[in-house]
Structure 1
Amino acid sequence: MNKEEWKKSIIEGLKEVYDPEIPISIVDLGLIYDLKISDDGEVYIRVGATTPACPVTEDIAYTVEQVIKERVPAKKINVDLDLETQWTPLMMTKEGREEFKRKYGYDIVQQWAETYGIELNENKS
């Protein structure tokens, strides 16, 4: 068992799982908070939601578990649904941010930063 290969395979699969509110993958939205694989083949993943009031959070957790089952022969899978950590657009990957711009026509990360007075550390070159 190669833990890094397992992680890569799981993340690849989770890129096909989309948030119902913002149709971007949960990976690119930054909703995968933690992913651990033990030496004996157990997978732990902590997943968030864009809003704790999301009515399909349990569906997302179920889908994450199914993706992991399809991707790796894990002995045990523990999906921890974290509704305490507040999601912000600043958690998005570069790919997620670009996809959001293509779909909605504006940069949600820039808008968020301006609204809340947050300095973004980006190279403007």
Structure 2
Amino acid sequence: MSDTPEPPTDAQSIPDPTDGPQYCAYTDYRSGEVPEDAVVPKNGADSEGHERAVWDALFEVEDPEMPVSVVDLGLIYDVAVTEDDAGTHAEVTMTLTYTGCPARDMLLDDVREAAASPDGVDDASVELVWSPVWSVEFVSEAGREDLREFGVSI
């Protein structure tokens, strides 16, 4: 008789690797061409109402590795707020600095929570995209100053 445990025999006893927060959990990503007239990243400067409130909340979300907002890092590509019979919904389109970002799940959760936090916004979702690819050119001047103060040369 061997001390090696027997493998599970039914699907319910096999743990789902996507349950719970994990740094390398599977995520669907949208890809594709960006229209030539697309302006990314955005900062919400021309927004108002609920959309402005969502942008303000996103400015409070900092990258977990450095004290710079996700907006100033250029990670937020768009915010859309819609209203229907179910309430007011915010959808944030964002990217990450690189595909293997170890803080991905944390950032997505923080952005989702922040986007849903303003008064009058009932829920929020986050769409993670890789096009256009993030670049240091996307960092705002305020973000560059924050990075310099943190000791990052940019």
Q: Fold match, TM over 0.5?
A: yes
- In the other structure, the counterpart of 1:113 is none
Structure with greater helix share of residues: 1
2:148 is the alignment partner of 1:86 = no
The Cα shift of 1:43 comes to 1.3
Q: Distance in 1 between matches of 2:91 and 2:132?
A: 17
* Over 6 Å off, 4+ runs: none
On the 8 A contact 2:62/2:68 being kept in 1, the answer is: yes
The Cα shift of 1:33 comes to 0.5
On the 8 A contact 1:10/1:72 being kept in 2, the answer is: no
Scaled by the length of structure 2, the TM-score of the pair is: 0.59
The Cα shift of 1:85 comes to 3.7
- In the other structure, the counterpart of 1:114 is none
Equivalent residues in 2 for 1:1-125 (5 A)? 4-40=48-84, 41-104=88-151, 106=153, 108=154
**What amino acid sits opposite 2:149 in the alignment?**
R
**What amino acid sits opposite 1:9 in the alignment?**
A
Scaled by the length of structure 1, the TM-score of the pair is: 0.71
**What amino acid sits opposite 2:97 in the alignment?**
T
On the 8 A contact 2:55/2:79 being kept in 1, the answer is: no
**What amino acid sits opposite 1:8 in the alignment?**
R
The Cα shift of 1:100 comes to 1.6
Paired positions, count: 105
Q: CA RMSD in A?
A: 2.0
1:71 is paired with a residue whose SS is coil
The Cα shift of 1:97 comes to 1.3
**What amino acid sits opposite 1:31 in the alignment?**
L
Q: Distance in 1 between matches of 2:104 and 2:119?
A: 23
Higher CA-based Rg: 2
Percent of residue pairs bearing the same amino acid type: 28
- Deviation string for 1:15-64 (max 9, x for gaps)? 22111233311011011101111243221111111111012212111111
